[in-house]
Chain A
């Protein structure tokens, strides 16, 4: 079945540091890939997405590139801020009739001033 593997957290960085959160996946067919973010006390918000190989999703300074050859969708940001502190979830949907999402375990990011 489909699965998503994220790097184990927590990740602690200083403000303006470079962020990478690794994500790899296993899926049948050609999934769409997503990063969701969960700020403390809130629900899941879509951060960015990519729907086919070599697409790059980007939003709020975050980027991720759909790499079919390595089955990866790593999240990056060049300079993190304290306000980026949250849990980040990598997810995929492999289509079919329902487009249900399969999530990774989530990675807690803490950014210190």
Chain B
């Protein structure tokens, strides 16, 4: 079964540094998402991406965050200047379509900000 691949599995970064989380979605999927899960809390929507642009973003997704699909296969989440509260598990997801098409998730990147 096709998989969503996320790298790295664990990223440790100093506060204030930039970090890029990478995702390779399933190849024929068109809708892309990032979610995060702070330890012990619920999984929260960050951003959705379709047709090379952001289609919706949450309040969490402020100016420090950006996403892009630089080469038609990778889908990246960049945090420009990390804060302690950015420490979380970040999940990439993709879907072939909308409505009845389920989202498929990667195994996540654990981001630890020191």
Cβ of A45: which chain B residues have Cβ within 8 Å of it?
105
* B100–A100 CB distance below 8 A: no
Q: Which of B4, B45, B99, B100 contacts A101 (CB 8 A)?
A: B45
Secondary structure at chain B's binding surface: helix, strand, loop or mixed?
strand
Q: A98-B50, A106-B42 are in contact. Are A32 and B100 (CB under 8 A)?
A: yes
How many angstroms between the C-alpha atoms of A11 and B56 in the bound complex? 35
Query: When A99-B31, A100-B48, A105-B41 are in contact, do A46 and B55 touch as well, CB less than 8 Å?
Result: no
| Residue B104 CB within 8 A of the other chain | yes
CB < 8 Å: which of B41, B91, B102 contacts A43?
Answer: B91
A residues in contact (CB < 8 Å) with B = 32, 34, 36, 41-46, 49, 51, 89, 91, 95-106
The 10 tightest CB contacts between A and B, nearest first, are A43-B107, A44-B105, A103-B43, A98-B48, A98-B56, A105-B42, A43-B105, A100-B45, A99-B98, A46-B102
